[in-house]
Amino acid sequence: MKCAALTGISADVIRELKRGRPRTLEVQSAHNVITLSGVTPGDHIFMTNVDRDDLAVGDNGIIVDVISIGIMMKRIIEFSHGSHFEERERMAARIQVRYCANSSVKEVSSMETITPTTVEVLKVSCCHAG
């Protein structure tokens, strides 16, 4: 199955999702927001704690079902010494997902800087002793 991949997700978040209850996540890293820009409710997403640059065949993660998604712009204004302020904008994505299955990367698509990260994955139905 080919699907979008969210990388660098905390192992604690992945462990929490494996409990089976839907969870809402907010991602702010540029590569994950770009990846989510093409995702719609009902799609499957591969999630792993491996960094995007290190993603390779055989890496483990989970497949989740997308329940809802929203991409938004946040404006941050910082004041300093009463007269100087700095304004920044940050794009973020909020996504509600539900655990579907354990998974492993079969193939990694080319990962260019401003393209969505996609992978070919296999559902893992058993554990292998190592």
Q: Is residue 19 part of a domain?
A: yes
| Residue-number span of the structural domain to which 39 is assigned | 2-123
Q: Is residue 130 part of a domain?
A: no
Give pTM, 2 decimals.
Answer: 0.84
User: pLDDT band for position 85 (50/70/90)?
Assistant: confident
Please give the residue that has the higher pLDDT: either 124 or 40: 40
Q: Is residue 129 part of a domain?
A: no
Q: Is residue 128 part of a domain?
A: no
15 has pLDDT over 90: yes
114 has pLDDT over 90: no
Q: What is the pLDDT of residues 42-62, one digit of tens each?
A: 999 999 999 999 999 999 999
H, E, C per residue of the chain: CEEEEECCCCHHHHHHHCCCCCEEEEECCHHHHHHHCCCCCCCEEEECCCCHHHCCCCCEEEEEEEEEEEEEEEEEEEEECCCEEEEEEEEEEEEEEEEEEEEEEEEECCCCCCCCCEEEEEECCCCCCC
Instruction: Give me the CATH number covering residue 111.
Output: 2.30.130
Q: Is residue 11 part of a domain?
A: yes
